[in-house]
Amino acid sequence: MENIFYEEYKTLLQKIEEYKTIIIAKHVMPDWDAQGSAEGLKRIIEDNFKNKNVYIVGSKIEDKPYKFKLSDEQIKKSILLTVDVANQSRIDFDKKMNVKEIFKIDHHKFESHDFGDNFLVDPTAIACTQVITIFAMTMNLKISKEAAKFLYKGLLTDSGRFLFKNTNAQTFEAAKVLVSTGIDVAEIANEIYLTDLNLKKWLFKMSEKIVFNEKKYYAYLCVKKSDYYGIIDIEAAKSALGIMSGINEISTWFLAYEKEDGIVKISFRSRNKDVSLIAKKYGGGGHTLAAACEVGTWDNFENELNNILKGI
Ligand SMILES: [Mn+2]
């Protein structure tokens, strides 16, 4: 099949062939695209190649981190595949610089790569799992039902259930390949999207703190540590961003939330503005319509708020 990434696909296959030990790293604080990419790719490698030792490193969405034992000697001889990571500092693996080489597989926008020896990066893909699925499909690799389940989770979440703007024909092509393995899409959606009553009640309470400016089409919400600590975990607290989406009069919105270390992180979403520009100003980044950055303390946030509002 014709594909503009055919050379990259071939190189990736060659590299997988070449190495016995393959390490897969995601971005810090993984979402389902990061984790689904790692888990899906691990299974694709194991199901299509013999005698490979594939390790996923770093933290997991479900609290416990991945367990693995790798000696420095093994790490030195291994290839690191990074999935869903744009910048070196975001790679969730402290020995990332000790590997023999790095292959970056991603879908974030980039001006230049600050790490990696080889690349398979398609910024038009809605999810990194889309990049991996189309790669596997094009190269006729077997995708098991288990691999498909993980890959589909990334596709579903990064595309906002196939509603976001960059959802394209290839997204559905990938979905078709994955669904063809027999996965249960309703069950997967329930696994990801059903909310506990405790969290739902908390979100209702938070929704009263949203600042709306319908004349300027924006909304934002500040969540302090004291708002969630002891009630829900930080991952659940981040879902407060979603309560501002889907409002006709609000086309750009953001959640400013205090992480457990006291640093304020801002997650931007928009239907029509390039919010990655404002995120970049504060050392962050991301996609055109979904980006994030950190601004320091609440005092820093207050000082920058006007500039942020002007920028969105
Ligand atoms: Mn992603």
**pLDDT tens, position by position, 132-151:** 999 999 999 999 999 999 99
At the topology level of CATH, where does 198-311 sit?
Diaminopimelate Epimerase; Chain A, domain 1 (3.10.310)
List residues bridging with 104 in a β-sheet: 82, 119
pLDDT in the model for residue 275:
97
The C-alpha atoms of residue 77 and residue 54 are separated, in whole angstroms, by 13
The pLDDT confidence band at residue 175, using thresholds 50, 70 and 90, is: very high
Mean local confidence (pLDDT), 225-247:
95
pLDDT in the model for residue 1:
52
The C-alpha atoms of residue 162 and residue 156 are separated, in whole angstroms, by 6
67 C-alpha to ligand 1 centroid (Å): 23
The per-type count for the chain, helices as H runs and strands as E runs, is 12, 11
Instruction: For 6-191, give the CATH class.
Output: alpha beta
44 C-alpha to ligand 1 centroid (Å): 19
The pLDDT confidence band at residue 165, using thresholds 50, 70 and 90, is: confident
104 C-alpha to ligand 1 centroid (Å): 13
- DSSP assignments along 151-186, one per residue: HHHHHHHHTTTTTSTT--HHHHHHHHHHHTTT--HH
The C-alpha atoms of residue 283 and residue 270 are separated, in whole angstroms, by 19
Calculate the average pLDDT of the chain.
96
Q: How far is C-alpha 175 from the chain's CA centre?
A: 17
Q: 44 Cβ partners below 8 Å, 6+ apart?
A: 132, 136, 141, 142, 143, 147
285 C-alpha to ligand 1 centroid (Å): 12
> How many angstroms separate the first and last alpha carbons of the chain?
41
**pLDDT tens, position by position, 29-83:** 899 999 999 999 999 999 999 999 999 999 999 878 898 889 999 999 999 999 9
The pLDDT confidence band at residue 111, using thresholds 50, 70 and 90, is: confident
Element (H, E) at 204: helix 197-207
32 C-alpha to ligand 1 centroid (Å): 8
Q: What percent of the chain has a predicted confidence (pLDDT) above 70?
A: 99
299 C-alpha to ligand 1 centroid (Å): 30
Whether 299 and 262 have beta carbons less than 8 Å apart is answered as: no
93 C-alpha to ligand 1 centroid (Å): 18
The C-alpha atoms of residue 312 and residue 304 are separated, in whole angstroms, by 13
Whether 14 and 120 have beta carbons less than 8 Å apart is answered as: no
CATH 3.90.1640.10 positions along the chain are 6-191
The pLDDT confidence band at residue 2, using thresholds 50, 70 and 90, is: low
User: Cβ of 62: how many Cβ atoms within 10 Å?
Assistant: 8
CATH 3.10.310.30 positions along the chain are 198-311
The C-alpha atoms of residue 24 and residue 35 are separated, in whole angstroms, by 10
Mean local confidence (pLDDT), 294-307:
97
4 C-alpha to ligand 1 centroid (Å): 20
Whether 13 and 128 have beta carbons less than 8 Å apart is answered as: no
